[in-house]
Structure 1
Amino acid sequence: MLGNDIKLAVKSIRSAKWRSFLTMLGIVIGVASVVITISLGQGVRQQLIGQIDHLGSDLITVRPGRLVNRDIAGNITSVNLPAFLGMSSLSENDFRVIKEAPGVGIAVPFAAVNGIPHNDSVEMPDALIVATNENAPAILEQKVEFGAFFSQEETTKEVAIIGQRVAEKLFNENVPIGKSISIRDRTFVVRGVFEGFQSSPLTPNTDYNSAIFVPYEAGKRVSGGNVQIYQVLAKATEKKKTKTTIQAINDGLLNAHAGQADFTILKPNENLIITNTVFNLLTGLIGGIAAISLIVAGIGIMNIMFVSVTERTKEIGLRKAVGGTNRQILGQFLIEAVILSLVGGLFGVMVSFIANILIRISTSLQPVITLPVILISIGVALVVGVIFGMAPAIKAARRDPIEALRHD
């Protein structure tokens, strides 16, 4: 009997393809948005954990702005999300304070340089130009695959080490050593090409595969003497002294900022806390939008099913006349609503898979779709179908067979 009800439901849905498609669209959007958001969060968390293992638990990150609130013990209690949207930067004096703080063994500034890099025929507007010092590969634990990084003696020269995507985009080759890149009115000679970077959750909004690394002083010249240091990475001389080194950096910066804590010092595991907080909020926001989408879609399913009940009144009368029970009629129409919702959920999952493939191809992010997320999403779609399909199904089941047969 169930198989027959499913066949009848599929036949009814196929008889009004466009109407059924438009009805399912809200389910598709709601399910896809939730799966994509959660998969991005899972992917970034996994990459961040891998990066913490790669860079070490003693890496110290200093960023502008008060990104977190802490308790007396120094533990993060909350994240100041508006600070992430600010345009503040660290100063050169801040970098000197960090570099000269007791216990610091290595410190590296990362500053954004404005400009569109190009050669004679190709521009790369989405490239990130980073002004840094000679210790960048060591702090990032990143190898130069071809050529070499600039040395301490070359920190004023106009040389560049580029990511793989820059090599492909500007030169259409893997080893453009000795070739030139123009940034504003300056010409930089390519000295090296990095190995492929993994995504950098420790460095928000960056993809170092699309980056051009230049000496700090050369970057300043390009920017007219002004660059924005968006973070400083540092390590202690000894791993066991990381905590005291962080305190020394904090004290030095507070003194330099006249007691104002408008900066943030983070350990790698604290980056994970921030990432979780941001993605939990994002998931909540997207989840709210998806919930509205699913409710609207559910109302759409209910309306369409009411229309279907009206259109098929005679069919209902005939089924009852030949012995069909109220339970059978209710089951037939409820199954139809559930199939509409279920198919919408499956399409939503398919859309999320396609979107995640595109994200992997076009960015360095690696979204992760897990089976529980898929099952929960499909389960939610099924629940929507049952809830919003129940009223039309009850209406159909309660139809008087005599009145139904008289219906035109």
Structure 2
Amino acid sequence: MFGGSFQSAVRNLRLYKWRSFLTMLGIIVGVASVVTIVSLGEGVKKQVVGQINQLGSDVITVRSGKVTSSGLGQDQLNLLAFFSTSTLSNNDIDSIKKIPAVSSVVPINFVTNSARSGDYRADNIFVIGTSNQMPDLLNQKLEYGGFFEDKATDEAKQVVVGSKIAALLFRRTNPVGQSMQINGVDFTVIGVLERTPGGLLSIAQTDFNSSVMMSMEAARKLTGNRTNLLQILAKSADPDIDHTVSEIDKTLRKNRGGNSDFTVLKHSELVNIANHVVDSMTAFVSSLAIISLLVGGVGIMSIMLVSVSERTREIGIRKAIGATNRQILNQFLAEGLTLSVVGGLIGVVVSLAVNGLLRLYSSFEPVVNVRVLSLALIISVTVGIVFSVAPAVKAARKNPIDALRNA
């Protein structure tokens, strides 16, 4: 019985191709949006967690403000800490270096600026003051040249540039040994970092591809102490990470007279924060995309109500020759279900195409899984059925005599 209803539904929908397509458009956009957004969220989560794991479980992060394990702090949102005023200081760096349980310390100190080399200019770059231990601790590799020595850089004005800065300022030439200007001051490029994924969603919340790295002292001299100490990374020499975390916490509290305007995070807590923040962002944006699915459902209901009115004579004739209310109901439900299924499948294909283009032409690596595809299709089918009930019931309840009289 339902098989015949679906055949009839497909036949009727093919008679009105453009109307059917426009009716499905909301479903197509909704499914494509949900799948693409969730895939991007899963890809970002995989990337960030991978970077955290690459750091190693012995790396501890000290951040400005209070950040909870859920990712939201009392004073800031974790991913927006980049833009807030830091409560960390150079005294904190020196104090952490003196802790016996800490083997190395890497500060991430930044300010935005512009750079120039010859006729080429790069705006809104990140000037990062850090230490020469940064590549080892962050597992970063150099494409050309080497990294600076802290003391030598203060006088020699040596910098290491990110891959995007190298491409913008030096085009296809090797930047090592060439000169560039930041804030009117000449610097010599001694190294170029390999391209790294992540940007502001990376473990260090810094787009190293668009950055120029120099020593802390050189950065302070360049900017007149207007740099912002984003965070401090410390490597534990003690296998007991909790003990090192406790020592850092006690030391920084002592510097502040007992106040705690900072957060010390170990590896597992960073993973929890990354998962929570990305999941929250994905859920919020996905909820907006689901609204388009509901709009698509309303579109299905509206068009089907119009269809019921247009096909009053057909309904009357079918009932007059013996069609039951159930058969009429099934036919219109089948039409609504067909619209939602076809729209959902097209939406999935569109999302897969978008994800493929993102992989080819951007740094994003969306992760598509069967669970997300299945859930999106189930939602679209459910929307189609729910919003088809009212038109189907209206059609089934039509009196055949009245239907033929009013046709």
Shorter chain as denominator, the TM-score bin is: 0.7 to 0.9
What secondary structure sits across from 1:112 in the alignment?
strand
Change (3 A) 1:357 1:169: farther
Aligned to 1:349: 348
State how far apart, in whole Å, the 2-side matches of 1:149 and 1:109 are. Answer: 15
Q: CA deviation at 1:138?
A: 1.1
Give a deviation string over 1:63-117, Cα, whole Å, max 9, x none: 101011xxxxxxx477427512451312222222222223211101111222123
Report the AA paired with residue 296 of structure 2.
A
The within-5 A match list for 1:370-389 is 370-389=369-388
User: Hey, what's the Cα distance between the residues in 2 that align with 1:122 and 1:347?
Assistant: 45
Mapped to 1, the partners of 2:110 and 2:123 lie a distance apart of 14
CA distance in 1, matches of 2:241, 2:322: 80
Q: Distance in 2 between matches of 1:82 and 1:21?
A: 48
Distance across 2 between alignment mates of 1:43 and 1:162: 27
Question: 1:305 — aligned with what?
Answer: 304
Work out the CA distance in 1 between the residues paired with 2:369 and 2:124: 31
1:44 and 2:44 equivalent?
Answer: yes
Map 1:58-207 to 2 at 5 A: 58-68=58-68, 76=69, 79-80=72-73, 83-84=76-77, 85=80, 87-89=84-86, 90-125=88-123, 127-156=125-154, 157-173=156-172, 175-199=174-198, 201-203=201-203, 205-207=205-207
3-state SS of paired residue (2:116): coil
Partner of 1:73: none
- The one-letter code of the counterpart of 1:31 is V
Aligned length: 400
Alignment of 1:214 with 2:196, yes or no, is no
2:287 is aligned with 1:288: yes
The answer for the alignment partner of 1:405 in structure 2 is 404
Query: Could you tell me how far 1:135 is from its partner in structure 2?
Result: 0.9
Output the CA distance in 1 between the equivalents of 2:325 and 2:203: 62
**Structure 1: 5+ residue runs without aligned partners?**
69-75
**CA offset at residue 151 of structure 1?**
1.6
3-state SS, counterpart of residue 109 of structure 1: strand
| CA 1:237–1:204: 2 relative to 1, 3 Å | closer
Whether the aligned pair in 2 keeps the contact of 1:235 and 1:242 (CA below 8 Å) is no
Q: Which amino acid is the alignment partner of residue 394 of structure 2?
A: K
Partners of 2:215 and 2:116 in 1: CA distance: 18
Of 89-98 and 28-37, more deviation after overlay is shown by 28-37
Q: Structure 2: any 5+ residue segments left out of the alignment?
A: none
**8 Å Cα contact 2:179-2:189 kept in structure 1:** yes
1:196 positional shift: 3.0
Contact (CA 8 Å) 1:162, 1:212: kept in 2 or not? yes
Equivalent position of 2:55 in the other structure: 55
Amino acid at match of 2:385: V
Please state whether the residue corresponding to 1:113 is helix, strand or coil: strand
Looking at structure 2, the residues matched to 349 and 241 of structure 1 have their Cα atoms a distance apart, in angstroms, of 48
Measured in 2, the distance between the counterparts of 1:197 and 1:214 equals 18
Classify 1:61/1:363 alpha carbon distance in 2 versus 1 (closer, same or farther; 3 Å).
farther
Q: Under a length normalisation based on structure 1, what TM-score does the superposition of the two structures give?
A: 0.88
Q: Distance between the aligned counterparts of 1:190 and 1:146, measured in 2?
A: 10
For 2:167 and 2:348, how far apart are their aligned partners in 1? 33
Is the 2:117–2:180 Cα contact (8 Å) retained in structure 1? Answer: yes
Q: Structure 2 vs 1, CA of residues 40 and 321 (structure 1 numbering), >3 Å: closer, same or farther?
A: same
The Cα shift of 1:227 comes to 0.4
Hey, what's the Cα distance between the residues in 2 that align with 1:322 and 1:174?
83
CA positional deviation for 1:18? 4.8
Over the matched positions of the two proteins, sequence identity in percent amounts to 42
The range that moved more, 305-314 or 24-33, is 24-33
Deviations 1:23-76 (A, max 9, x none): 3343334333432332233223322343233221001111101011xxxxxxx4
Aligned residues of 2:104 and 2:236 also touching (Cα < 8 A) = yes
Distance 1:129 1:314, change over 3 A: farther
Partners of 1:166 and 1:198 in 2: CA distance: 15
Other-structure match for 1:259? 258
- For residues 188 and 136 of structure 2, the distance between their equivalents in structure 1, rounded to whole angstroms, comes to 22
- Of the structure 1 ranges 219-228 and 121-130, higher mean CA displacement relative to structure 2 is found in 121-130
Structure 2 residue identity aligned to 1:158: K
Residue 190 and residue 13 in structure 1: after superposition, are their counterparts in 2 closer, same or farther (change >3 A)?
Answer: farther
What's the Cα RMSD here? Answer: 2.7
TM value normalised by structure 2 = 0.88
2 CA distance for matches of 1:371 and 1:174? Answer: 45
Task: Tell me by how many angstroms 1:202 deviates.
Answer: 5.0
Alpha-carbon separation, structure 1, partners of 2:400 and 2:169: 75
CA distance in 2, matches of 1:11, 1:123: 61
